Structure 1
Amino acid sequence: MATETTSQQNIDSSKIEKFATQLRGKIVLASDKNYDETRKVFNAMIDKRPELFVICIDVADVIASVKFAKENDLAVAIRGGGHNGGGLGLCEDGMVIDLSGIKFVRVNTSDNTVRVGGGNLWGEVDHATHIFGLVIPAGIISTTGVGGLTLGGGVGYLSRKFGLTIDNLLEADMVLADGSFVTVNKDQHKDLFWAIRGGGGNFGIITSFKFQAHPLKTVFGGPTLWPIEKTEEIMEWFDGFIHTAPDDLNGFIATLVIPGPPFPDFLHNKQFCAIVWCYTGPMDKAKEVFQPIMAKEPIFDHVGEMPYPAIQTLFDGLFPPGLQWYWRADFFNNLHPEISAQHLKFGSRIPTPLSQMHLYPISGAASRVGKEETPWAYRDAKYAGVIVGVDKDPANNDKITQWCKDYWNALHDYSAGGAYSNFMMDEGQERVKTSYKYNYERLAKIKKQYDPENFFRINQNIQPSN
C-alpha cells in the first residue's frame, strides 16, 4: 500500500494496514484515486496535501486516529465541515481526521435540547429541528460545519435574540490529545467546557454537541438595497438604529455587487450598500417593525415571511464550495464617519461580483454575556466585521486578495483590535492573542493542562503556557 505523496513522513505501509484494521471508517492515501477529491475544502484557494485522511464514523475511529498520529509523530488537522477560510481543516503532510461520517441530529422535545454529531452541517441540523418548530442560533450559510462555527463562537441571524452559538452549548463529548474521552459541561471539566466555547479546536476533537434549542418556525426578513453612494448615510442610520431595536430584529450590513439572477436585471453588476434582515417576533407586528426601515427608501427590497431554514439558505446558491476565497476581519465599536467613508471608498471598488464586506451586530442577547464568561472577549464590541475576496477563477486571486488587504488596512486603525476567529486566515500568534485579549492567559493554562505538547496546533493556535 505504497503512497504517492510529497510527504516527508512516508509511513510504512504495514503500519497503515494495521491501523486500518482498527477502524470502521476508511483511510484515503495520496495514491488513491479519490485523494484529490477528498482533499477539497470550501475554499479552493487552499491547496494542501496531507499524507492521509481518516474518514471517521464513530468515536472509536477518532481515538484510534489520535493514538496513531501520536505514535508516528504526525501533524494533525481536524476537519468537520471544511468551511474554514484559512483551510485549517487540512495540513501539509500529516493526517487529517475527518469527522464527516459522524452525523446525527437527535431532538428531545421534552426540554428542547438537540444532540448533534461532530461532522454535521448546519443545514442538516435546521432540517431536523424545523419540523419541531425549534432553532439553534448559527451563522448565515447552511453549508457551514457545526463544529468549526460553534467552537469559534457562532455569529449569525439569531445572535441578538438568542445569543451566540456558544451561549446555547450545554455539553460536548471530546477526544483529548492523549486519546482519552471526556464529557464536558457546567459540572464536568468546567475549565475545559469554558475553553471550547470560543477557544476553537485547540483542546480536543468534539464528536458530539448538545445544544439548547428555542421555539421559532417562521421569520420575516431578506435584503434591502441602497445605491453604494448612500453608504455613509445608511451606516450612520443603522448604527443608531440596530442596537436599540428589539432583540427580535437583527440585520447585517454589507457592501456588495449584485452578480445576477435571481435579482432583477436593473441591479446586475452594480455596487450597493445592503442590509439583510431577520425578524423573529410576531408576524402580525412585522410591518410595523419594518416601517422605519422602509422609510429609508431602499432602491430594492425582498423581505417577507419565510421558514427559518429559508433565510439560512438564502445565499447558499451564490457561494457553493469550490470558489477562491481570501478573508480579513476585525471587531468595531462604532461606525463613525471615518469608518463609513472607507466602506464607501472600497465598496465602490469591489473587484469581482461575489466579493463583499459584512458587519454583524454584537448587541441584544449576545452582548449580555460577560466578557469573561466565555473566551469570546469582544462582547462589548458593536460589530464583527469581515471582508471577503471571492471569485471562481484562480487567475483573479491576486486581485481579490489585494482588495481585501487594502480594505482591511484602511479600516484597521479604527478597529477594536482583534477579530472573530472564524473570520480569520492563518495570521500568526500575536493576532490570535489580540483576538482573545484578557482571556488568552486562562486559555493557555487550560491548554497546558489538556494538551501540553500542543498536539492540536493546526488551528487559531493557543500555545500551552510555560
Structure 2
Amino acid sequence: MFDLVSLDNRPVALTGDDLAAFRAQLAGEAILPDEPGYDAARRVWNALIDRRPGLIVQCQGLADVVAAVRFAQEHELLVAVRGGGHQVSGSAVCDGGMVIDLRRMRAVRVSPDRSSVHVQGGATLADIDRETQVFDRVTPTGNVSKTGIGGLALGGGMGNLRRKFGLSVDNLLSAEVVTAEGAVLTASETENPDLFWALKGGGGNFGVVTTFEFRLHALGPEVAFAAQFFPVDEAPRVMAAWRDIVESAPDEISSLAFFWTVPDMEGFPPEIRSARVFLYAAMYAGPADEGEAALAPLRSIGTPVLDLSGRGPYTAWQQAFDPFFAEGGAYEAIYAYWKSIYLNGLPDALIADLNGRARSMPAPECLIALWHLGGAVARVPEGDTAFGRRSAPYLLSFDSCWIDPALSDRVTEWTRAQVEAMEPHSPGGSYLNFPGVGAADPAAVRAAYGANHARLARIKARYDPDNLFRLNQNIAPDTGAT
C-alpha cells in the first residue's frame, strides 16, 4: 500500500496491484518517492519550491497522458501538470499528489509548406527555434530559451516579437488536448472553438495540451538588436529617452528596460561587475539592414558603460538571458518570486518613483523589468482571446531573484509591496505567467481576465466540472451555467 493525496486533501491508499496495472499502460515511467531518480524528477528551477509528489508520471507520448489523467480521475487524485521549463510559480509540482510530467515530449515539426509548426507540450523555446530557423521561420515565444512552451503559451506568451507578430496565443492555430475525463480533442477555430478560445490565455485550466500548432513567420537567420547598459545614476534621463523612442517606434521593434545588478562573473567588464545599472534591450523583427537603421535612435541615447548591440543569429538573441534564468546557469540554485502589474503609461513622475524603488532592491539578483507593449498585442480585441488585458502600454514586472535562502521573507515582502504601490498607476490586472508563488488569488485571476472571466468559468464547467486541473491560476467552474 502507498498513499497519495486526493483533490480535497484526503489520503488515497493505492495498492501495489493498482500501480502495477497503471505502469503496464505506460511507455514512460511512474516514479515513487523511494525510487531512483525521484529527487531529480521533482525539482524545478525555482529553489523556493520544494515539494514532494506522491507519484511522478514521466509521459512518453499522448497515450501516457491519457492513461495518467484517467488514473487520476479514477482515484480522485490531486494533479499537477509539468511542461518543459521554468515553473516560477511552483504549480507544476504538488505535495502528495500526482505530477503529469511532459518533459520527454519535446518533438517539433515544421509543416511542409512552412506555414506552421507542431510542438509537443514538453518542448522548450530553444527546441522550437532550433527547428524553425532551419527554414528562416519564427513563431512568437518568450525571452529565455529554456522556458517551456506549454506554460508560456497557455498564459499568453510575451517575447521579442510581440509588437510585430503578437503573443504566442495570437499565433495558435490548433491544439491537441486531453480533457479531465481522458478524452482527446482537437481545438481550433472549427473544432471545439469554445475550448480553443479558452486555451488562448486561459492557462492550464482546461486539460493537458499535448501538441500545439503555431503559425510561422519569415525571419532570420540574422537579426539586428540593441542592448546598452548605463550607470544607475543616469537612469531617469535614459529611461525617459527610451520611453519617448519606443512609443513612436515601428511595430518591428519590441523592447524591454531593466534595473539590474551586473553579476560578478566572466563575460562582463571588471569595472562594472556588481554595479547597479539601467539597461534596455530591443530586437527588430525584420531584415537586419533595416533593423540597424531603425534601432539607431535607441543607440544614440547616451554613452553606455557596455554596448552589446549589433546583428547576429536570431537564436543567439533568444538565448541572451539564459545564463541568468536557466537551471545550471550563472547561479547553482536561485530562488524566485515574480509579480507583475500593467501600467497606464510612464510619466516622468513614475520614472522618478521607479528609480527610487530600484535602489531598494533587496538582493543583487533582483530585476525590475518594463515591457513596452502595444503594436500587434493591442490590435486584437480583448474578447477575441481569453487573454484579457491588451490595451495597457506597459507591463511592469518585479522579477525578484536571490541566492541566499535567508532573504526569502524579505524579498517576497518587498516584491508584494512594490506591486501594491503601483496600483494607482494601473488599469488593473497582471500577467499571470508572473503570479508569485503559492495558491492562486481568485480576485487577482478575475482581474487579470477582466470581462472574459465569466465566459472562462462557463467553459471550465463544460470541460472540467470537478476542477481536476486546479493547480494553476485557477478558474473555478461555473457549474450553475446553462
TM-score range, shorter chain: over 0.9
Task: Name the counterpart of 1:59.
Answer: 62
Task: Name the counterpart of 2:418.
Answer: 407
1:351-366 map, 5 Å = 351-366=362-377
Secondary structure of the residue aligned to 1:67 is: helix
Query: Are 1:79 and 2:105 an aligned pair?
Result: no
> Within 2, Cα distance between the matches of 1:297 and 1:305?
20
Query: Are 1:231 and 2:240 an aligned pair?
Result: no
> Within 1, Cα distance between the matches of 2:87 and 2:395?
17
1:156 to 156, 159, 177: 159
> Within 1, Cα distance between the matches of 2:94 and 2:3?
17
201-210 or 239-248: bigger deviation: 239-248
Q: Is the 8 A contact 1:7 1:94 kept in 2?
A: no
Indicate how the Cα distance of structure 1 residues 20 and 215 shifts in structure 2: closer, same or farther if over 3 A, else same. same
Q: Is the 8 A contact 2:3 2:11 kept in 1?
A: no
> Within 1, Cα distance between the matches of 2:179 and 2:455?
18
Secondary structure of the residue aligned to 1:110 is: coil
Indicate how the Cα distance of structure 1 residues 166 and 298 shifts in structure 2: closer, same or farther if over 3 A, else same. farther
Could you tell me which amino acid in structure 2 is paired with residue 229 of structure 1?
A: D
Q: Is the 8 A contact 1:332 1:384 kept in 2?
A: yes
Task: Name the counterpart of 1:257.
Answer: 261
Task: Name the counterpart of 2:432.
Answer: 421
Could you tell me which amino acid in structure 2 is paired with residue 55 of structure 1?
A: Q
Query: Are 1:88 and 2:91 an aligned pair?
Result: yes
> Within 2, Cα distance between the matches of 1:103 and 1:31?
27
Deviations 1:344-365 (A, max 9, x none): 0121122323210111122111
Indicate how the Cα distance of structure 1 residues 287 and 173 shifts in structure 2: closer, same or farther if over 3 A, else same. closer
Indicate how the Cα distance of structure 1 residues 2 and 429 shifts in structure 2: closer, same or farther if over 3 A, else same. closer
Secondary structure of the residue aligned to 1:70 is: helix
1:19-418 map, 5 Å = 19-217=22-220, 218-260=222-264, 261-299=266-304, 300-321=306-327, 322-418=333-429
Aligned-pair distance for 1:148? 0.4
Q: Is the 8 A contact 2:242 2:301 kept in 1?
A: no
282-291 or 29-38: bigger deviation: 282-291
CA RMSD of aligned residues (A): 1.8
Could you tell me which amino acid in structure 2 is paired with residue 287 of structure 1?
A: E
Aligned-pair distance for 1:109? 4.0
Task: Name the counterpart of 1:460.
Answer: 473
> Within 1, Cα distance between the matches of 2:287 and 2:137?
15
Aligned-pair distance for 1:331? 1.0
Aligned-pair distance for 1:3? 7.1
Instruction: Give the TM-score, by structure 1 length.
Output: 0.96
Deviations 1:218-272 (A, max 9, x none): 2111421222223332333333321321111121011111113312111111111
> Within 2, Cα distance between the matches of 1:253 and 1:53?
39
Unpaired segments ≥5 residues, structure 2:
328-332
Task: Name the counterpart of 2:330.
Answer: none
Secondary structure of the residue aligned to 1:297 is: coil
Q: Is the 8 A contact 1:342 1:410 kept in 2?
A: no
Secondary structure of the residue aligned to 1:131 is: helix
Q: Is the 8 A contact 1:44 1:324 kept in 2?
A: yes
Aligned-pair distance for 1:111? 4.0
Deviations 1:179-211 (A, max 9, x none): 101001000001110000000000010000111
Q: Is the 8 A contact 1:154 1:165 kept in 2?
A: yes
Could you tell me which amino acid in structure 1 is paired with residue 449 of structure 2?
A: Y
